[in-house]
Amino acid sequence: MKRILKKILFSILNTPEKVNNTIFSGFSRGIQNVAFEGKNAVPDGCNFSGIIKVGYATTFGYNNFIHGNVIVGKYCQIGVGVAIFTKDHPTSYMSTYINKNLFDGELKQFRKESKVIIGHDVWIGHNVIIVGNVNIGNGAILAAGSVVTKNVEPYAIVGGVPAKELKKRYPESIIKEIEALQWWDKSEQELEKLKPLFFKDFTNKTSIYD
């Protein structure tokens, strides 16, 4: 009986709910801290705190932790277990401890606060951690398990701990064309006209129009 009740409860809690054109599944905390542009998806176990803006059609993975001043662009895909931190403990003082158990938390005033800006069409892999004052360019790919502590160039693939650039997705000529096109700002009707471009393989190409 207990197992059946658990299944029923799990089914109820994980029933997708659409609110203001954003789909929520399961239970996530801090949704009130996020400004969603619409057509977003938030699965179970996410935690949001701070001031967060999320672009159109960007989707999250299970157990994402987004903390601080964060801006995420449009059409981004964020994998399972991704964490973004823009606040850091003080390192040049007597202690890094900022909990209220020490001096009623007064040391929290020395915490460093920065900002993370993520561009459009960024793919963030499983268990990626982003920390500090970081800008991630449009079209970038952050490989699973990476720890990103520095800016990432547009259309770069980065990986490792700390993350380093492995290669660019395309030659510079194609990158310039996509940046000029700015497809993520197009309406659905305009995207439909551009649809053939999305089905092209740009391997060994120098233009998206070839």
Residue 150 shares a structural domain with residue 186? no
Confidence bin at 8 (pLDDT 50/70/90)? low
**Rounded CA gap, 210 and 64, in Å?**
39
Residues paired with residue 38 on neighbouring β-strands, in sequence order: none
Instruction: Count structural domains, the chain.
Output: 2
Nearest to 44 by CA among 8, 77, 4, 12: 12
Residue 108 has pLDDT above 90, yes or no: no
Q: What pLDDT score was predicted for residue 207?
A: 97
Residues of the domain holding 205: 170-210
| 3-class state of residue 38 by DSSP | coil
Residues marked active site are found at 89
pTM: 0.88
pLDDT at 11: 60
Q: For residues 131 and 155, state if they share a domain.
A: yes
CATH code of 115's domain: 2.160.10.10
- Residue 43 in any domain: the answer is yes
**What is the spatial distance between Cα 174 and Cα 122, in angstroms, rounded to a whole number?**
17
